[in-house]
Chains A and B, each alone.
Chain A
Amino acid sequence: MLSPLIDRLRATTLRTRLAVWNAAVVVALMGVTLLSVRFAARAVLYADADAELRGAAREVALAIQELEGDEPRILATLRRKAAGHEERGWFLQLLTPDGMTIWRSDHCPEDVLNYPPTDVERMETVRQVGHYRYVSTRVDRLEDEPLLVRVGTYTTGLDEGLAGLMWLLTAVALLLTAITPLAAWWLAGRATKPLAAILRSAAQLSPTRLGDRLPVRGSRDELDVLAQTINGLLDSVAKHVDRQEQFVADAAHELRGPLAALQSSMEVALARDPAATAGLESVPDMLEAARHLSKVANDLLTLAESGQEPTPADNVVVDLVTIAHQTVAMFSGVAEEQGLALVVSAAAPAAVRGDPIDLRRLTSNLLDNALRFTPSGGSVRVSIVSGVNAAVMTVSDSGSGIAARDLDRVFDRFFKSDPSRTHGGGRRSSGLGLAICRSIVEASGGTIAIESRLGQGTTVTVRLPLAAGHRMGAPADAFSRRPPAPQPASR
């Protein structure tokens, strides 16, 4: 019966569990305390009462022994004692060991009178009969058989006092039981607050921002140790990723020299004398392969570089809408030729921060993909909407779509979809286009997502943080950093 509850507790937050356990322990301890107090109070009260009764019984026994043989004086003493104790609610009985009452005080209850003596051989016994309690003391006599003196009292008062105390204690306990979970919840909240802060910071961590670290509060407690441990892990992960990226960049870089040698020698051989390559008809194909290799090496380098922290020179404020229009202008001819509608919709400029060349590469790669996978008569739409914090650019096509099982992998390096579904012509792609897109978007602190339905089309959504409050630089300026295009004089 408890197990579903326990299961549910396991599923809840650490704070709830801490609070529940705290409250449960406090309530249990309170219950135990309450029972102990009741037991102890009762024991103390009864021991006190017994001691007084015992004293009184001994006094009577001593008097009887002293006055042995003098009946009238004994009775007078008994009467006097009884009258003395009357107002305290005590009663007195003198009886023979076989239960015959010799004398009794006025208020001695019938229950006690008729109760037969037990343990007569013992000097003193204490007995509880219903609401009455008495001490029975044996009075040994020199010439006669022993007698028993019973001095008793009503325990109703005692019990009522005890019950009152218990009521009070129970009321306090109930109040505490009501307060305890709240206090426990509050305390657990305080205890887990730094943990919640760590969790919030940890949720911000991302593979694209490997420079971020969890805050260490300097309190040197377990949570600080946890944060430091995670930070240490992040350090080594960042170092590892850096090494990997550096390796890719170095490898791509190293490939460039030999590729340049290969490509330029073949180009010269082809250009110089086509006859010289007689018997080597495959040279153009080899050249094409060398160019493809160069393209892969270049894209790998682009990928490795775009994953690094942008330098200030590459991080300017640009209008995403202008970038989109420039890119659409570049592809509009191809779209017309393929019989595709290519439209941009944007209501207002969207100032984002990034490398303008990278942003053009991003939009070009996305448009190129959309156009290549959309059959004639279809459409490709670019829309840019500025939200409160982010500019959202979507590139959607009515193309062949991507199978759900491939959707997770399209941003992976070297992922290539089924080439039979492309519609435009064109060369082989390097398989790095969308990986570069993701890298560019993430370098600008944005996100990229893709949705697709087979046969219905694909939508890529890019979210880039808005560069609010920044002067809008003309994107054209950013291109002037490039080496000038060749501009020779006329002949």
Chain B
Amino acid sequence: MQVAIVEDDPIIAKAVSTAVSDAGHECRWIPDGVAASDDSLIASDLVILDLMLPGADGLSVLKAARSRGVRTPVIVLTARSLVSEKLQAFEAGADDYLVKPFAMDELLARIEAVHRRAADKPAMTLAAGPLQLSLANRRATLAGRPIELTPTEFNILELLMRFNGQVVTRKMLCEHVWGFDWDGPTNVIEVHLNRLRGKLDKGREGSLVRTVRGRGYALALD
């Protein structure tokens, strides 16, 4: 996938480019709004767009592109965090919105999510290694055997499986499970994650869910 990052801060641009390249995509850096307003948007499969840019500001670039019929998915990456500012961005045609400072894993996950959503529809069944989730009747099976999960554990496993092979951050899990990304001192996810592990890892050597220090959690299926 060809990703364009429109960002005036070279350090952030470089970090994002590196991470995106490492994730197996091509990444191009566009340092200002003027350069972003030509056809670079059409040429990319996905655009990461800062709002405060020298030249032309991100919102007007986005609006202009959408009015020309450009349908390339756009993730807004900005320090502006007011709900009204988010709404403005979505009205202008953004597909997703992430506030700085951000976790790189979350940005990568959102890139995948936005890209796939633009391609096809979510299925009613998720599968990853020996794990299968039926989203319709909310049942989980491990190597064909049903496992009993609480709604919270089911939601956690669902997100981990959707992002199989990637790291899922605490904030993403919190938002997905409780609809609210509380960022307080207590780790409200960990307890449920440990219980989930207890159910998944019965009679197993290692764990199916790996803790990635300082980043979050990921499925470990190998």
Give chain B residues whose Cβ lies under 8 Å from the Cβ of A256.
Answer: 79, 99-101
Quick one: closest B residue to A302, CB to CB?
A: B81
Is the CB of B201 closer than 8 A to any CB of chain A?
no
Give chain A residues whose Cβ lies under 8 Å from the Cβ of B115.
Answer: 488
Distance between B151 CB and nearest chain A CB, rounded to angstroms: 9
Give chain B residues whose Cβ lies under 8 Å from the Cβ of A122.
Answer: none
Partner of B214, one of A284, A298, A371, A489: A284
B79, B101, B214 — which one has the most chain A CB atoms within 10 A of its CB?
Answer: B101
User: What 0/1 pattern do residues 238 to 275 of A give for CB contact below 8 A with B?
Assistant: 00000000000000010011011111110110111000
Is the CB of B183 closer than 8 A to any CB of chain A?
yes
User: What 0/1 pattern do residues 160 to 199 of B give for CB contact below 8 A with A?
Assistant: 0111100000001011101110111111100110010000
State whether A368 and B19 are in contact (beta carbons under 8 Å apart), knowing that A481-B83, A483-B90 are contacts in the complex.
Answer: no
Quick one: closest A residue to B193, CB to CB?
A: A333
Could you say which of B29-37, B124-132, B137-145 contacts chain A?
A: B124-132
> Is there an interface contact between A490 and B162, defined as CB atoms closer than 8 Å?
yes
Partner of B186, one of A262, A426, A484: A426
Is the CB of A433 closer than 8 A to any CB of chain B?
yes
Is the CB of A336 closer than 8 A to any CB of chain B?
yes
Within 8 A of B (CB), among A380-413: none
State whether A287 and B123 are in contact (beta carbons under 8 Å apart), knowing that A333-B188, A357-B180 are contacts in the complex.
Answer: no
User: What 0/1 pattern do residues 104 to 116 of B give for CB contact below 8 A with A?
Assistant: 1100011011111
Quick one: closest B residue to A256, CB to CB?
A: B79
Partner of B191, one of A298, A334, A360, A486: A334
Distance between B100 CB and nearest chain A CB, rounded to angstroms: 4
> Is there an interface contact between A487 and B113, defined as CB atoms closer than 8 Å?
yes
Quick one: closest A residue to B15, CB to CB?
A: A264
Within 8 A of A (CB), among B69-89: 79-84, 86-87
State whether A483 and B96 are in contact (beta carbons under 8 Å apart), knowing that A330-B178, A334-B188 are contacts in the complex.
Answer: yes
Give chain B residues whose Cβ lies under 8 Å from the Cβ of A265.
Answer: 11, 14-15
> Is there an interface contact between B122 and A487, defined as CB atoms closer than 8 Å?
yes
> Is there an interface contact between A426 and B123, defined as CB atoms closer than 8 Å?
no
Is the CB of B16 closer than 8 A to any CB of chain A?
yes
Distance between B78 CB and nearest chain A CB, rounded to angstroms: 9
Give chain B residues whose Cβ lies under 8 Å from the Cβ of A365.
Answer: 184
Within 8 A of B (CB), among A201-254: 253
Give chain A residues whose Cβ lies under 8 Å from the Cβ of B18.
Answer: 268, 272
State whether A330 and B84 are in contact (beta carbons under 8 Å apart), knowing that A263-B101, A267-B15 are contacts in the complex.
Answer: no
Distance between A477 CB and nearest chain B CB, rounded to angstroms: 11
> Is there an interface contact between B100 and A257, defined as CB atoms closer than 8 Å?
yes
Is the CB of B154 closer than 8 A to any CB of chain A?
no
Quick one: closest B residue to A287, CB to CB?
A: B214
> Is there an interface contact between A267 and B187, defined as CB atoms closer than 8 Å?
no
Within 8 A of A (CB), among B183-222: 183-188, 191-192, 195, 213-215
Give chain A residues whose Cβ lies under 8 Å from the Cβ of B103.
Answer: 263, 267
Quick one: closest B residue to A333, CB to CB?
A: B191
State whether A488 and B112 are in contact (beta carbons under 8 Å apart), knowing that A264-B16, A337-B191 are contacts in the complex.
Answer: yes
> Is there an interface contact between B163 and A483, defined as CB atoms closer than 8 Å?
no
Is the CB of A313 closer than 8 A to any CB of chain B?
yes
Within 8 A of B (CB), among A335-379: 336-337, 357, 360-361, 364-365, 368, 371-372
Give chain A residues whose Cβ lies under 8 Å from the Cβ of B12.
Answer: 257, 260-261, 264
| A361-B125 Cα distance, complex, nearest whole Å | 34
Partner of A271, one of B102, B112, B152, B215: B215
Give chain A residues whose Cβ lies under 8 Å from the Cβ of B120.
Answer: 489
| A262-B15 Cα distance, complex, nearest whole Å | 9
State whether A333 and B152 are in contact (beta carbons under 8 Å apart), knowing that A257-B100, A261-B15 are contacts in the complex.
Answer: yes
> Is there an interface contact between B113 and A368, defined as CB atoms closer than 8 Å?
no
Give chain A residues whose Cβ lies under 8 Å from the Cβ of B178.
Answer: 326, 329-330
Distance between A360 CB and nearest chain B CB, rounded to angstroms: 5
Quick one: closest A residue to B76, CB to CB?
A: A483
> Is there an interface contact between A331 and B188, defined as CB atoms closer than 8 Å?
yes
Give chain A residues whose Cβ lies under 8 Å from the Cβ of B123.
Answer: 489-490
Is the CB of B148 closer than 8 A to any CB of chain A?
no
B9, B115, B161, B182 — which one has the most chain A CB atoms within 10 A of its CB?
Answer: B182
Is the CB of A485 closer than 8 A to any CB of chain B?
yes
Is the CB of B136 closer than 8 A to any CB of chain A?
no
Distance between A346 CB and nearest chain B CB, rounded to angstroms: 19
Residue ranges of A at the interface with B (Cβ–Cβ < 8 Å): 253, 256-257, 259-265, 267-268, 270-272, 284, 287-288, 290-291, 294-295, 297-298, 301, 305, 311, 313-314, 326, 329-331, 333-334, 336-337, 357, 360-361, 364-365, 368, 371-372, 424-429, 433, 476, 479, 481-491
Cβ-closest 3 pairs across A and B: A486-B113, A261-B11, A333-B191
Apart from the given pairs A271-B22, A486-B113, 5 other A-B contacts in the complex at a CB distance below 8 Å: A257-B12, A260-B100, A264-B104, A267-B103, A489-B117
For this complex, 10 residue pairs linking A to B, each with C-beta atoms less than 8 Å apart, are A259-B101, A260-B100, A261-B11, A268-B104, A295-B183, A368-B184, A368-B185, A433-B185, A483-B90, A486-B114
Residue ranges of B at the interface with A (Cβ–Cβ < 8 Å): 9, 11-12, 14-16, 18-19, 22, 79-84, 86-87, 90, 96-97, 99-105, 109-110, 112-117, 119-123, 125-128, 152, 161-164, 172, 174-176, 178-180, 182-188, 191-192, 195, 213-215
